[in-house]
Amino acid sequence: MPGTNWAGNVSYAARRRHRPSSLDEVRRLVAGSDRVRAIGTGHSFNRLGDTAGDLVSLAGLPATVALDPDRGTVSVPAAMRYGDLAARLHERGYALANLASLPHISVAGAVATGTHGSGETVGNLATAVAGLELVTADGDLLTVDRAADGDTFAGMVVSLGALGVVTRLTLDVVPAYDLRQYVRLGLPREALDAAFASAYSVSVFTDFRGPRLREVWLKQHADAAPPPADWLGTTAADGPRHPVPGLPAENCTAQLGAPGPWHERLPHFRLGFTPSSGDELQSEYHVPRGAGAAALAALEPVAHLIAPVLQVCELRAVAADGLWLSPNHGRDSLALHFTWVADPAAVLPVVAAVEEQLAPFVPRPHWGKVFGLAPAAVASAWPRYADFLDLVSRLDPAGKFRTDLLDRYFPRS
């Protein structure tokens, strides 16, 4: 198990690390520990996944994938990476509705933080969850289901790891589909909404250095007409691109309109290659979609602070959902993502400036990335915040799954 997160900015403080190979072992471990935390692939950028106690990776549990074509679901082990799951689903003619920018992350870790891709009609990855199996504080195995457990279930999916150790998840599947990916250059800002409406999944990249948005990555169904030459006033990229200027396009999924399976087009980055730049910090804020253009404009006065510490900014659309702690709870969202340079001292003041500018739009931070919002701002951004606090105290009365970061944002009453 690694001693730091993927980015290297967090050294795990756990006094013991474990890699159990059976469910019983996980149950015994949780029951016998006073402080315990599950870890996925460690791709988060903050201390949410850390603990001073026992850190548990579930990567040693059996990798059984059980497809249920009648229900349209698949049951997967918590630690499985999306890339590995996607290949197995595709072989059998199935797919997931969406994926994040990278296939390297674990299903449970991504779901716990409300990880998302892009697509104005598509929810984040947690919205595909139809069932959960978790080991709760006393070592019991709890199974919850979307149909049977309704509202409480909606509170348990984006869990921040605070409710227990998730051992398996059941996800909705759809028939496999093919996509084509096109990269277009120089989008006028006023065309942002039209761009999001034009394809299944759309990512817009900008650098805060010019009036136009630098690149648009369109991921559209393979049988849809390709964008015309003058699409929204942009030009076609003359070759494959990497979102971070100057980095090798080889790390990225195929572009230039080549058709290919969903899991080889929806992520920007390929399994087996370094995603993003590999030397970075990340922050991200979700604002209401209708206020997206205004939120982007509100960052202009601090563009001179952002640009020098920015590798790239990505704008994505995410559909609203009902999951209590989802960044997209109750609102169609524009996600403003920042890939920063790997220098916390230079980046943190800029993160604070971004948060101040976005404050009027009630920004919801990505739970797994760098943010510094005041606890009161976080509490007031989620209408079901108090219900989640209540759920945590019911399922984990002794605070076994707590971390410093959870104590800051979800203090015990």
Residues found near ligand FAD in the complex (CB under 6 A): 6, 37-44, 48-49, 58, 78, 100-102, 105-106, 108-110, 112-113, 115-116, 160-161, 165-166, 275-276, 366, 368
3-state SS, one letter per residue, for 250-315: HHECCCCCCCEEHHHCCCCECCCCCCCCCCCEEEEEEEEHHHHHHHHHHCHHHHHHHHHHEEEEEE
Nearer to ligand FAD, 78 or 97 (CB): 78
Six-digit token pair at 140?
A: 């019991």
Rounded Cα gap, residues 305 and 105, in angstroms: 31
The minimum distance between CB 267 and ligand FAD, in angstroms, equals 8
Residues 346, 192, 319, CA angle at the centre, nearest 5°?
85
Nearer to ligand FAD, 188 or 399 (CB): 399
Nearer to ligand FAD, 138 or 186 (CB): 138
The minimum distance between CB 162 and ligand FAD, in angstroms, equals 8
The minimum distance between CB 145 and ligand FAD, in angstroms, equals 17
Rounded to a whole number of angstroms, the distance between the first and last alpha carbons of the chain is 34
The minimum distance between CB 111 and ligand FAD, in angstroms, equals 8
CB atoms closer than 10 angstroms to residue 86: 24
Nearer to ligand FAD, 39 or 305 (CB): 39
The minimum distance between CB 330 and ligand FAD, in angstroms, equals 18
Q: Which residue has the tokens 């891709």?
A: 117
Nearer to ligand FAD, 48 or 299 (CB): 48
Nearer to ligand FAD, 8 or 72 (CB): 8
The minimum distance between CB 93 and ligand FAD, in angstroms, equals 25
Q: Which residue has the tokens 């609203």?
A: 320
Give the closest residue to 254 by CA, choosing from 179, 154, 331. Answer: 179
Nearer to ligand FAD, 49 or 227 (CB): 49
Six-digit token pair at 136?
A: 């709760």
Rounded Cα gap, residues 407 and 180, in angstroms: 44
Rounded Cα gap, residues 138 and 368, in angstroms: 26
Rounded Cα gap, residues 331 and 295, in angstroms: 15
Give the closest residue to 334 by CA, choosing from 355, 351, 320. Answer: 320
Nearer to ligand FAD, 103 or 288 (CB): 103
Nearer to ligand FAD, 41 or 220 (CB): 41
The minimum distance between CB 52 and ligand FAD, in angstroms, equals 14
Give the closest residue to 352 by CA, choosing from 337, 367, 339, 370. Answer: 370
How many CA atoms, within 13 angstroms, populate the side-chain half-sphere of residue 317? Answer: 27
The minimum distance between CB 110 and ligand FAD, in angstroms, equals 5
The minimum distance between CB 210 and ligand FAD, in angstroms, equals 24
Nearer to ligand FAD, 5 or 198 (CB): 5
Question: Could you tell me if 119 and 200 are in contact, meaning their C-beta atoms sit under 8 angstroms apart?
Answer: yes
The minimum distance between CB 211 and ligand FAD, in angstroms, equals 26
What is the separation of C-alpha 237 from the centre of its chain, rounded to a whole number of angstroms?
A: 27
